[in-house]
Structure 1
Amino acid sequence: MVDNFQLIKNFIHQTKESGFNKKTFFYSIQFLVCVVILWEYNLKFLNPTWDAISQMSRTFVVLGVEQNPAFVEASTMVPIILFTSLLFYLLAQNNFSNIIKKPQDFNSYSITILSLFTILICIILSIFLDFSAQIGMPFLLIGASMYLAYLMNFDNSTVNRIFHDPKENYIDGIKVLSPFLLFILISIFIALFPPIIKENIIEILSFILIVLVSVSALHILSESNNVLDHDKKNSALIFTIALPIILYSITRLLFLLHNPDTVTRERWDLSWSFMNDTNRFEINAWPIQPDFPEDIRWKFYLAAIINSVRITLVSIVLCTILGVIIGVTRLSSNKLASTLATIYVEIFRNLPLAVLLFLVALQLGESLPLFADEANISGLIYYSNQGIYIPNPQTSMILISILLITGLWSWNKYRDYNAQKDPDYQYYDNPLLWPLVLIFCIFLIFSNASHPDYIKPNMAIPGTWDIVEGSGFEITPEFLGMIIGLTLFTASVVAEIVRGSIQSLPRGQIEASISLGLSSYQRLRLVILPQALRSMIPLLNSQYMNVWKNSSLAIIVAYSDIFYVIFVMMNNLGKLIPLFLLLLVTYQAGSLLISGIMNYYNSKVTKVKI
């Protein structure tokens, strides 16, 4: 651990030796500008943070009733603020891998243990000691968070030396622990300090933060700094700079939840108890169809999530297939095919998705016949502007088909494994095998399916024909419109990803595969696409997440997705903030899930790491 004071001394000494030249002058100007910006930035966020903590700490009880609506118990406020700061500190330390892989090796994360103990001590002191609301409690919370930034300048080896031999390394112990003890004493007795100090305490804290930022910057610029510790020093600098806005965000959110204004406080009520009430509108969903008005809003929310997941999964599969075909076709030697593929990409890639969905919905409404004039295909598929009814397959047949496809895929993987293990192992790969199996599975699924049956509940009233519930599987025009729009739009981008990934491959791949006697299909499947996947998957990851997020435009075609359901709930209830947070968490969770799956697959495709 480089001594901070020695580092500053060396920097000043080098500046004196180099003399005052033009380069030094410009460096000085840059340093002063950075100091001024940091000073204003710190004051901008520390002042409201201090005021919010002070107001939430102030208690005024009359006849056993708390008169300050913004008051928050210290046992609640202090852990929330300090543990949130600790969480950001741990993210900056990036010590989670050592904790998970080697939990018994305390030496690998001793600095994390020390930071946790300091936070626990501050929480205990805040509960058992009476810190003044005006200055004591704000100084305790801000000072404890700043001490975490100070600890970022030390590493595990320094703390280990202190714990193993405190007498020999007492100087390191003073450097690490004395600031913490000093700030605890100041927090307790700060009310006794002269007014000039108490009135300018925020400016003093801002100055300390600037010093910490300067020390972290000098560590990074120092030539003696170890290259392996460079990332940690960058994290220390970023955490120290971001600390004021982190504290501001935490305290601002707490203050909004306990705002003195009744309207604002109710608006920020995050209890979500209203979701346990029955819903006031009806949606079309599958496989969970909530009953109106018996079911609670949580069930409608779950059904809406499944609706969004359905269109996302189907669109991802279809846009991948169509995108690969279009992308490969763009590289075809057939001029007509490549030109048509280029026209498709340029049209749909440059067309806004909202406009495309509107055009698709308009075209479906104009093309599909009225329900009274419902058409059919061989008595199996009925279609109208009310929906498309297809034979309803049996669940057992679907499971058998899935097992058959899974078995064939496992058999191919087993043969590939044997081929890699034994160079003399040979097998014949029939390109027609998979298409034949898929056709057979489709035939198996629909062989015993129940066909749509017509019924006329009231024979006296004309035009009252309907389809018996459960006799056919319904595909709504809204679902079909979303699938068509998302597939056409995303496939145009996927096609460009496929084309660019294939063209990025080194020359000679086609010639080498031709020399091996591979057909065009085999060249594409065994040589070209497997190599192109390495650059394709990260870009496909982004597009698949875009499909999930673009599904929020389903309101254009009146499809009951999660955004549509939450939007209607917002209008009915007025609970904008909790419902918006629920919507935010839902889309974020879906994006993270897609990203996690694609990153896992990417790690299997490529093993290259830096």
Structure 2
Amino acid sequence: MALLFTSHWAAMFWNDAKIRGLIYQATVLVLVLLALAYFALNAQQALQERGITTGLAFLGQQSGFAIGEGAITHDASDTYFHALLTGAINTLTVSIASIVGATMIGLLLGIARLSANKLLSGFALIYVELFRNTPQLLQMVMWYLLLTQLPGPRDALSPIAGHLYLTNRGINIPVLENGTSLFTAFLLALVLVVICVTTAFRLMDRRLRNTGKANGRFAALAGAGIAALLGTWLLLGTPTTLVSPTLQGFKYRGGQTISPEFIALFFGLSLYIGAFIGEIVRAGLQSVSRGQLEAADSIPLSRYDRFRLIVLPQALRVMVPPATAQYVSLLKNSALGVAVGYPELFNVTNTTTTLSGQALECVLLMAVFYLSIALTISALMNLYNRRVQIKER
């Protein structure tokens, strides 16, 4: 009797599709973990037999090489960990700058593609087809070669006399008196502009709902812009003067030099990904049905309000997911900077691997970094997507 009762419950247990699926998944997971453990132990034994040490202890050793460019200074006496950190910061710097540039280019291209002006839409179409259909690495090398053909420091081009110099060693620009670069100030100002303008839009919408009046838009936006610039100035320590570069000997001193390697990588990433984002913007805007536009025209909304309140919220639902994929692709493609000599993470990791001999550890650390940043970008964009998506019933 007990045997029959046990068999009955076992049959019921096994016939449950959910439970059976969990058993299959658990079995596969155990087999995969056992296989990974086998390969890991086998690799460790092979390394020990050849006298190759493993682990992350090498990160505390002196690197023995310097990195010529970076947000933080790295010389030969610093550790391997500091070298990899410098490379990671360089990767983030060029990636963030390129994401901002690609987004601006993409927005302009997407709108231009839908323009009634044939010259403007034709230019946008040629741009998209040209940059999408040529290799990104080729574009980076082309920009690098063009930049290195500029005159030397003594014959520098100066579009803004006394402040901006273009040479084959890079672009020399002023810095604020506290040492803050104009690029950093621009990014900070851009963030504050987005925050202030978004706040101004919400206040205007609230006023429109409460009073039915939409006037005062220009004053609100102007106030948001002034507040953003004032906030940037205060956060940077209220600088009052610019320190411009000056020619001393064979190089410019003072100010900040943006290297040809950084510029070539920035152009290669932002111009290439910008073409894809331009098509994403165009498709997103065209995804809004004509009925929605006709319904918007039936109520007293300006073209600007129609775009901001009706077209853009629906278009973002289409644009955000593919744009996220492009941002992640841009981050990973920053590793192409090794081709033009920019010391991003991949380049620094190659040097670290050569000098330390810890190839496996270096590759794993690099993989963890790229995976972590890519997942962070995806998580942030998914969070934003949930905020802007239209709530459907």
Q: 1:403 & 1:502 partners in 2: Cα distance?
A: 24
For 2:177 and 2:320, the matched residues in 1 are separated by 35
Q: 220, 229, 240: which is aligned to 2:27? A: 240
**Which residue of structure 1 lines up, in the alignment, with residue 263 of structure 2?**
480
User: Is this contact kept in 2: 1:452–1:472, CA < 8 A?
Assistant: yes
**Structure 2: distance between partners of 1:420 and 1:253:** 64
Counterpart pick for 1:497 among 242, 262, 280 = 280
- Cα displacement (A) at 1:390: 0.8
Q: Distance in 1 between matches of 2:256 and 2:294?
A: 49
* Alignment of structure 1 residues 67-106 onto 2, 5 Å: none
Match of 1:465 among 250, 269, 294: 250
Query: Quick one: which of 357, 363, 366 aligns to 1:574?
Result: 357
CA drift at 1:536: 1.1
How do 1:78-477 and structure 2 match up within 5 A? 215=14, 218-220=15-17, 230=18, 234-259=21-46, 262-263=49-50, 266=52, 269=54, 271-290=55-74, 292-366=75-149, 368-376=150-158, 377-394=160-177, 398=185, 405=193, 408-409=196-197, 411-412=199-200, 414-415=202-203, 418-419=206-207, 422=210, 424=212, 426=214, 428-430=216-218, 433=221, 437=225, 441=229, 448-455=241-248, 464-468=249-253, 471-477=254-260
Q: Which moved more, 1:271-280 or 1:419-428?
A: 419-428
Q: Distance in 1 between matches of 2:166 and 2:47?
A: 58
Q: Tell me the secondary structure at the aligned position of residue 467 of structure 1.
A: strand
Task: State the partner residue of 1:595.
Answer: 378
Paired residue total: 378
**Relative to structure 1, is the Cα distance of residues 550 and 408 closer, same or farther in structure 2, using a 3 angstrom cutoff?**
same
The alignment's TM-score, normalised by the length of structure 1, stands at 0.56
Question: Which whole-Å deviations, capped at 9, do the CAs of 1:506-549 have from their partners, x for residues lacking one?
Answer: 22233333444544444333322221111211111111111110
1:238 Cα deviation from its structure 2 partner: 2.5
Q: Residue 16 of structure 2 aligns to which amino acid in structure 1?
A: H
Between the aligned partners of 1:347 and 1:4, the Cα distance in structure 2 is: 70
Flag the structure with larger Rg: 1
Number of the residue aligned with 1:104: none
CA deviation after TM superposition for structure 1 residue 418, in Å:
3.0
1:99-157 C-alpha deviation (Å, 9 max, x unpaired): xxxxxxxxxxxxxxxxxxxxxxxxxxxxxxxxxxxxxxxxxxxxxxxxxxxxxx7xxxx
Residue type matched to 1:369 in 2? Answer: P
Change (3 A) 1:579 1:342: same
> What's the CA shift for 1:441?
3.6
In the superposition, relative to structure 1, how do residues 430 and 422 fare at CA in structure 2: closer, same or farther (>3 Å)?
same
Which structure is richer in relative contact order (CA contacts within 8 A, separation 6 or more)?
2
Equivalent residues of 1:418, 1:425 under 8 A apart: no
SS in structure 2 at match of 1:583 = helix
Structure 2 residue identity aligned to 1:511: E
Amino acid at match of 1:334: N
The separation in 2 between residues aligned to 1:369 and 1:273, in whole angstroms, is 46
Q: Aligned-residue CA RMSD in angstroms?
A: 3.4
Displacement after TM superposition at 1:465 (Å): 3.4
Kept in 2, the 8 Å contact 1:345–1:495? The answer is: yes
Gaps of 5+ in 1: 11-152, 154-214, 221-229, 456-463
Q: CA deviation at 1:308?
A: 0.5
Q: Deviations over 1:170-190 (max 9, x none)?
A: xxxxxxxxxxxxxxxxxxxxx
Other structure's SS at 1:430 match: helix
TM-score, normalised relative to structure 2: 0.84
| Residue type of the alignment partner of 2:326 | Q
> Is the alpha carbon distance of 1:402 and 1:484 closer, same or farther for their aligned partners in structure 2, counting shifts above 3 Å?
closer
Q: Percent identity?
A: 28
1:402 Cα offset (Å) = 7.3
**Residue 152 of structure 2 contacts residue 168 of structure 2 at CA under 8 Å; is this kept in 1?**
yes
- The separation in 1 between residues aligned to 2:210 and 2:220, in whole angstroms, is 25
Name the counterpart of 1:523.
Answer: 306
Cα distance in 2, alignment partners of residues 549 and 601 from structure 1: 22
Shift of 1:601: 1.0
